[in-house]
Amino acid sequence: MRQTLAAEQSSRLVLGVGFAEGRDTVAAVLEAARGAQAALGGRAAHVALVVTAGIPSRDLVAAVRSVLGPVGIAGGATSALLADAGPIEDGALVVCVANPTAATAVATGRDLPQASQSAARLILAARPRRVRYPRGLTVAFARPAFGAPAQEFLAPWRQLMGPKMRTACAVLPLPLLYGAPSGAPLASVACVEGPYATGLGYADGFADDGSVDPEILIRGAVDATITALKRLEGQGARLVLVIESAARHAALGALARDEWAAMRSEVGDRAPCVGWLCAQVAAYGRGVWPVDAHGSLVILALGDPPRDQLGLT
DSSP assignment of 98-153 equals --TTEEEEEE--SSHHHHHHHHHHHHHHTSTT--S---EEEEEEE-TTS--IIIII
What whole-number distance in Å separates Cα of residue 50 and Cα of residue 278? 14
Tell me how far CA of residue 270 lies from CA of 226, 231, 242, in angstroms. 14, 16, 16
Residue 256 φ then ψ, to 5°: -60, -30
What whole-number distance in Å separates Cα of residue 289 and Cα of residue 119? 21
**Mean pLDDT, to the nearest integer, of 261-290?**
95
What is the reported pLDDT for 6? 44
Contact by Cβ (8 Å): 260, 177? no
What whole-number distance in Å separates Cα of residue 278 and Cα of residue 171? 6
What whole-number distance in Å separates Cα of residue 307 and Cα of residue 77? 37
201 has pLDDT over 60? yes
Q: What is the tens place of the pLDDT at every residue in 233-247?
A: 888 899 999 999 999
Percent of the chain scored above 70 by pLDDT? 94
State the pTM of this model. 0.93
Name the nearest CA neighbour of 178 among 284, 43, 78.
78
Q: What is the tens place of the pLDDT at every residue in 15-26?
A: 999 999 999 999
9 has pLDDT over 80? no
What is the reported pLDDT for 207? 85
Tell me how far CA of residue 105 lies from CA of 14, 49, 200, in angstroms. 20, 11, 22
Indicate the pLDDT class of residue 122, thresholds 50, 70 and 90: very high
**Mean pLDDT, to the nearest integer, of 204-230?**
93
Name the nearest CA neighbour of 258 among 218, 291, 204.
218
What is the reported pLDDT for 217? 97
What is the reported pLDDT for 3? 53
Task: Give Cβ neighbours of residue 149 (< 8 Å, ≥ 6 apart).
Answer: 140, 142, 169, 170, 171, 280, 281, 282, 290, 292
**Mean pLDDT, to the nearest integer, of 261-286?**
96
**Mean pLDDT, to the nearest integer, of 302-309?**
78
209 has pLDDT over 50? yes
